[in-house]
Chains A and B, each alone.
Chain A
C-alpha cells in the first residue's frame, strides 16, 4: 500500500520569499515520487520526479525537492517565490514495477503576496 500526506492545505508567502511545501509518503517498496502543479481550470503539469537516482531533484520553474528516506519525505522548495507560482501543488507516489498508478496527496494551495 502507498499513501501521501501533505500537511496543511494552504501556504501563503511573500513574493521573493522561500517556498517550502511538505510531503511525506508511505510505501511498502522503493517509491517513485512526483510533484505536480495545477493552475485553475487546468490539468496537472509535472514539476519534478524522483526515480532512485540523485536524492536532490531539480525541476522546472526553479523548483527542487530532496528525497529523504529516513524521514520518508519529499519536500518541495523554491528559493524565491514569484507571483506566477500561485497554484495548487500535489505530491504523488507510485511504486517501482508494473503497478504504476499514482497516489496523490490532498494538495496544497500556494498563495503569493506582492
Chain B
C-alpha cells in the first residue's frame, strides 16, 4: 500500500518565479492538507482540500493556491516567490468523513528560493 507521495523532492527557484508542488494521497484517502515547515519550526497549516474544494485555509497570502483533482491528488501553487518561502512543504492525507481525521504525511518537497 503506497503511502503519501510528493514530487519533486527538491526544487530551487528564483525570487518572483512560480512553483507547483504535487501530492498523491494514501490509497483510500480523500482529503489533502498542505503545510509549510520553515527551518527549525513546526509545520504551519496552509490549506486543506476535500471533494475538490478548499475546505479550510490558514494564515497564508493569496499567492498560495491549490487544487484537488478527481483522483484526490493535489497541487500547491506559489506565485511571486519570496526568499521567505524557502521551506519544506509537507502534504498530508486523511479520510474526510472519519474523525479524528488522522493525517499521514509525505516526505515533503524542499523548496529553496534564491
Interface flags, B41-61, vs A, CB<8A=1, else 0: 111110010000001101000
Contacts of B101 in A (CB 8 A): 32, 94, 100
Report B39 CB to chain A, min CB distance, Å: 11
Residues of A within 8 A of B (CB): 4, 32, 34, 36, 42-46, 49, 51, 90, 92, 94, 96-107
Bound-complex Cα distance A98 to B43 (A): 20
Q: 5 A-B contacts, Cβ less than 8 Å apart?
A: A32-B101, A51-B100, A90-B42, A105-B42, A106-B42
Q: Report yes or no: A104 in contact with B94, Cβ–Cβ below 8 A.
A: no
Contacts of A43 in B (CB 8 A): 4, 90, 105-108
Kindly state the separation between the CA atoms of A104 and B40 in the bound complex, as whole angstroms: 13
With A45-B105, A94-B101 as given contacts, are A100 and B94 in contact (CB-CB < 8 Å)? yes
CB-contact partner of A102 in B41, B45, B106, under 8 A: B45
Given A36-B105, A46-B104, 13 additional A-B pairs, CB 8 A = A34-B102, A43-B105, A45-B105, A51-B100, A92-B42, A99-B56, A100-B31, A100-B99, A102-B43, A102-B103, A104-B42, A104-B44, A106-B42
In this complex, the interface size class of chain B, counting residues with CB under 8 Å from chain A, is 20 to 34
Pick from A46, A51, A104: contact of B99, CB below 8 A.
A51
Q: Could you count the A-B residue pairs with CB atoms below 8 Å apart for me: how many are there?
A: 67
State A94–B103 Cα separation when bound (angstroms): 11
Chain A residue numbers with a CB within 8 Å of B48 are 100-101
Residues of B within 8 Å of A98, CB to CB, are: 55
